[in-house]
């Protein structure tokens, strides 16, 4: 159809659904979403949907089933075999009948019209072929009724009625959901640090570390945690290092626990921020003993006491609900907190002195945990 205006001439063609060969998988068949990625030109879609009650839908499906059975019986009486399309349709109708009878769901009477426009006829033909191929891959057969272009054009007007009933499709809510209303892909920020590109869309992905977990309007998430998943050598560490590096450049502060010491040479390899990097190696050397003791790392003694309780209840297996052992442990920690000799090991030793039956448990714990971590957590042995 040719539409002439004062400043331009547009060629328009309309498609409608002739048949849906198979059910769409949901999720992963969001037509509206994938249209945005697939086509480099705009297309419009008009849908006219009427609700069909379950009772009426069952009647319609059963009538269709009778028609298909009549076709099958006629072929048998004529000593012919029914076509595959008839048998497949009969199976689909039987399955739909059973589903409607079980779920009591309604069906939807759908007319689906697609409009494609172009500045010239050759471009219109190319775009139409591309649209038909796209829907054909989804097992949806489109038809272009040349004699009804004016009517389909009128159906696109807001609040207009359905133009014709020749291409009506009866679908369930699953089909409407699989169209992907409002589906979009939001990955990264519109601007910021370039960290890669989307393989599906080819669009660049940018990141603004300053927007993370601050409740800033417009940020997609406020999650305080992130996970890097991938195969061995897939770039997990590199991606994490890159994000940490740029976050620091944006003014953030980062603490990295590096058990493999893969970042031990950052002061030499990153001279531009070498003054901001402080590397601490926790070894079993005497100078590192007690470096992570709660009474060393916490400024407030009350906070140190609380952290010591958490650590020792975990190590000893004593629950806060234990009315006999937990009060004794807490008193021992309080006694160490108020004394001049403060330390995690001093707290546990004081506890075993108050509860002699647990002396064996303390010896087992202290022997088993005589590691780098335990040495750095204990600053004083009573």
**Containing structural domain, residue 130:** 2-53+106-178
Alpha-carbon span 144 to 128, nearest angstrom: 10
Task: Please state, in angstroms and as integers, the Cα–Cα distance from residue 209 to each residue in 21, 74, 242, 250, following that order.
Answer: 47, 70, 11, 7
Tell me the sheet residues that pair with 205: 196
Which among 158, 202, 161 is positioned nearest to 36, based on CA atoms? Answer: 202
Between 331 and 364, residue with greater pLDDT = 331
369 within a domain of the structure (yes/no): yes
Which among 29, 49, 88, 31 is positioned nearest to 170, based on CA atoms? Answer: 49
Q: pLDDT (tens digit, 9 = 90+) per residue, 81-129?
A: 777 777 777 787 887 788 888 888 888 888 888 889 998 889 989 999 9
Alpha-carbon span 128 to 16, nearest angstrom: 12
Over residues 24-41, mean pLDDT:
75
Q: Are residues 238 and 166 in the same domain?
A: no
Whether the predicted pLDDT of 349 surpasses 70: no
Per the CB < 8 A criterion, the answer to whether 69 and 90 are in contact is: yes
Q: What is the pLDDT of residue 219?
A: 59
246: buried, middle or exposed (CB in 10 Å: 19+, 13-18, 0-12)? middle
Alpha-carbon span 224 to 191, nearest angstrom: 21
Q: Are residues 319 and 343 in the same domain?
A: yes
Q: Are residues 210 and 346 in the same domain?
A: no
188 within a domain of the structure (yes/no): no
- Single residue among 151, 178, 205 that ends a domain in this structure: 178
Per the CB < 8 A criterion, the answer to whether 173 and 99 are in contact is: no
Tell me the sheet residues that pair with 116: 13, 43
Q: Which stretch of 44-58, 153-167, 288-302, 334-348 has the lowest confidence by average pLDDT?
A: 334-348
Which among 111, 128, 114, 115 is positioned nearest to 3, based on CA atoms? Answer: 115
Q: Are residues 364 and 219 in the same domain?
A: no
Residue 370 pLDDT level (bands cut at 50, 70, 90): very low
Q: What is the pLDDT of residue 54?
A: 86
Alpha-carbon span 203 to 199, nearest angstrom: 8
Residues making up the chain, counted from first to last: 382
Over residues 303-308, mean pLDDT:
86
Per the CB < 8 A criterion, the answer to whether 143 and 112 are in contact is: no
Helical pair 54-77 and 84-103, crossing angle rounded to 10 deg: 150
Q: Are residues 14 and 131 in the same domain?
A: yes
């Amino acid at each position: 159809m040719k539409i002439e205006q004062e400043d331009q001439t547009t060629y328009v063609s309309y498609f409608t659904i002739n048949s849906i060969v198979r059910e769409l998988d949901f999720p992963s068949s969001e037509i509206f979403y994938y249209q945005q990625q697939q086509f480099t030109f705009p297309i419009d879609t008009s849908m006219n949907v009427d609700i069909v009650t379950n009772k009426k839908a069952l009647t319609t499906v059963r009538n269709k089933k009778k028609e298909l059975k009549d076709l099958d019986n006629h072929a048998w009486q004529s000593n012919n075999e029914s076509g595959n399309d008839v048998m497949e349709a009969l199976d689909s109708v039987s399955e739909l009948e059973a589903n409607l009878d079980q779920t009591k769901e309604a069906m939807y009477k759908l007319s689906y019209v697609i409009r494609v426009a172009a500045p010239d006829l050759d471009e219109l033909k190319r775009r139409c072929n591309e649209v038909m191929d796209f829907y054909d891959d989804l097992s949806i057969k489109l038809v272009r009724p040349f004699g009804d272009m004016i009517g389909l054009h009128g159906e696109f007007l807001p609040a207009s009625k359905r133009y014709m009933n020749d291409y009506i499709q009866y679908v369930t809510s699953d089909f409407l959901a699989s169209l992907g209303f409002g589906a979009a892909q939001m990955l990264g920020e519109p601007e910021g640090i370039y960290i890669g590109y989307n393989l599906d869309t080819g669009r660049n992905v940018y990141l603004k570390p300053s927007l993370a977990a601050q409740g800033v309007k417009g940020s997609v998430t406020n999650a305080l945690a992130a996970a890097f998943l991938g195969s061995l050598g897939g770039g997990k560490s590199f991606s994490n290092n890159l994000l940490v590096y740029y976050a620091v450049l944006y003014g953030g502060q980062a603490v990295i626990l590096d058990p493999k010491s893969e970042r031990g040479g950052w002061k030499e390899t990153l001279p531009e921020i070498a003054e901001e990097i402080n590397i601490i190696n926790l070894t079993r050397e005497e100078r590192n003993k007690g470096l992570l003791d709660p009474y060393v790392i916490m400024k407030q003694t009350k906070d140190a006491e609380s952290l010591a309780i958490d650590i020792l209840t975990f190590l000893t297996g004593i629950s806060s609900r234990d009315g006999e052992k937990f009060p004794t442990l807490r008193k021992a920690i309080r006694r160490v907190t108020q004394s001049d000799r403060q330390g995690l090991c001093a707290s546990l030793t004081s506890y075993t002195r108050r509860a002699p039956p647990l002396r064996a448990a303390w010896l087992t714990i202290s022997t088993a945990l005589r590691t780098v971590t335990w040495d750095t957590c204990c600053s004083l042995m009573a």
